[in-house]
Each structure stands twice: as C-alpha cells, then as structure tokens.
C-alpha cells in the first residue's frame, strides 16, 4: 500500500544554517500529489507546499521542494533557518486518500 | 473558503464516560478524517470516511468509533473514555479530485480524568 517515510524525528540546527527535511514515499499511482504541512504548537496543521509535477521546484514562504518521481522523494529545503521555523513538519501523499508521515520536529536554536 | 468546524474545542471527561467529538465541513469534500496528536508527537489516524454512512479504520482505531451520517458531518465517539485518550483531536477533510489538499479543524483538546 501507499506509505510516506520521514526518517528524522528531530532536526536541531542553528539559526542561519540551511534546512533539509527528508521525505520519501511509495505508491503505485503515477498522478499522486505530495505535500508539506507545517504544524505550529497550539495551532492546526496548514499547507506549506504541494506538487504533482516531476522535477519541478515548488516554493512558498522561503521553503522549496522538488518532486523526484525517479527516487520517490520530496525533500523540504530552506537556505537559511529562522527561529520562527521551529515547528513540526509533515510530508503527505494524496492518491485516493491522504497519508501523512510521522512528522519531523525542526528545532532552530539562536 | 474551505472550513472545518470542530466542537467542542475543549472537554474534560471522566474515566469510563462517553465522549462525542463533532466535526462539520462546508468544503463539499468526500473524505473526512479524525487524527489524534499527543504532546510532542505527530498526527495519528484514528478513523476516516469517504462516503456518508460508511467509515474505515485508520492506524489506531481501538477504543474509538466513528459516524458519518452525512457528507458534512463526521463524529468521533469514545464509548468508555480512558486516561490514555487524553490528547488533541483534529478533524480534517479532503477531496482527491481537487488535488487532495487537507483542511484541518482547529482541534479539540480532550482531557480524561
């Protein structure tokens, strides 16, 4: 069945350093959508990025990701981390329903 | 704008009591979901539904029932609440035909004492 893997449970880095959160997925459906959601403490998860186009970079709020169907990956990146980026980040796959990964805590230190 | 409304927003329940969490969406979405989030952890899927009058088990369905009486409404029922069910519960909706973006409610903080 479909699955999403986020290997890192916690990523801790210093403000100003680049961010990369890994996401890989498995599906038999060629027209799947991949998403990144951000979940701040005491709020609801909200959409950060989405893509269904192979090898096309998607950007929003300083974050970017490129869907690579050949490697089944959709890694989230940012060139310079900010303290306000500290949150829980979910990768998600949508085919006939949505599946979320377990999430990666990003903790940005001053 | 797409909207998912949860009620109540917070609740204190006694162990062994019955709890019903309600969710209403105005998105015209087929899929609805119930997730729980424990402090410091990610979302875990309890139940979901893709059509009225039918529900499906998610990853952690034990101790929970779900009801989808209409496309707009999806309830989560704890028949015998337990301390371990203290968590924040999120309802969500999506439509694969519209790109699959998930819209979340604001969450219900449930405390079982």
Query: DSSP letters along chain B, please?
Result: ---EEEE-SEEEE-TT--EEEEEEE-S--SEEEEEEE-TTS-EEEEEEEEETTEEEE-S--TT-EEE-SSSSB-EEEESS--GGG-EEEEEEEE-GGGT---EE---EEEEE-
Q: Do residue B43 and residue A45 have CB atoms under 8 angstroms apart?
A: yes
Quick one: closest CA in A to B90, which residue?
A: A44
Is residue B1's pLDDT more than 70?
no
CA distance B96 to chain A (A): 6
Is residue B2's pLDDT more than 70?
no
Per-residue confidence (pLDDT) for residue B56, from 0 to 100: 97
- Band (B99; pLDDT cuts 50, 70, 90): confident
Side-chain-facing half-sphere of B49: CA atoms under 13 Å: 24
Whether chain B has a CB inside 8 Å of the CB on A11: the answer is no
User: Which of B41, B102, B107 is closest, CB to CB, to A98?
Assistant: B102
Q: Do residue A94 and residue B100 have CB atoms under 8 angstroms apart?
A: yes
CA distance A102 to chain B (A): 6
Q: Do residue A94 and residue B42 have CB atoms under 8 angstroms apart?
A: no
Q: Do residue A44 and residue B33 have CB atoms under 8 angstroms apart?
A: no
Q: Do residue B106 and residue A44 have CB atoms under 8 angstroms apart?
A: yes
CA distance B51 to chain A (A): 12
pLDDT digits (tens, 9 = 90+) for A15-66: 999 999 999 999 999 889 999 999 999 999 999 999 999 999 999 999 999 9
Of A13, A33, A8, A2, the residue nearest A102 (C-alpha): A8
Per-residue confidence (pLDDT) for residue A88, from 0 to 100: 97
């Amino acid at each position: 069945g479909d699955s999403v893997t986020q290997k890192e449970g916690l990523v801790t880095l210093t403000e100003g350093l680049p961010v990369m959160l890994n996401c890989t997925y498995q599906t038999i459906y060629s027209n799947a959508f991949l998403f990144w959601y951000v979940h701040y403490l005491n709020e609801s998860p909200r959409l950060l990025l989405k893509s269904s186009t192979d090898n096309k970079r998607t950007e929003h709020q300083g974050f970017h990701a490129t869907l690579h169907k050949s490697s089944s990956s959709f890694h989230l990146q940012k060139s310079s981390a900010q303290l306000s980026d500290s949150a829980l980040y979910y990768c998600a796959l949508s085919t006939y329903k949505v599946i979320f990964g377990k999430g990666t805590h990003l903790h940005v230190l001053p | 704008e797409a909207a998912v409304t949860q009620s109540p927003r917070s609740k204190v329940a006694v162990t062994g009591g019955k709890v019903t969490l309600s969710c209403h969406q105005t998105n015209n979405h087929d899929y609805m979901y119930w997730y729980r989030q424990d402090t410091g952890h990610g979302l875990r899927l309890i139940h979901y539904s893709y059509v009225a009058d039918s529900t499906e088990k998610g990853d952690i369905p034990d101790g929970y029932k779900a009801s989808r009486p209409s496309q707009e409404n999806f309830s989560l029922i704890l028949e015998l609440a337990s301390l371990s069910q203290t968590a924040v519960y999120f309802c969500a909706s999506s439509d694969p035909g519209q790109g699959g973006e998930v819209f979340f409610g604001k969450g219900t903080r449930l405390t079982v004492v």
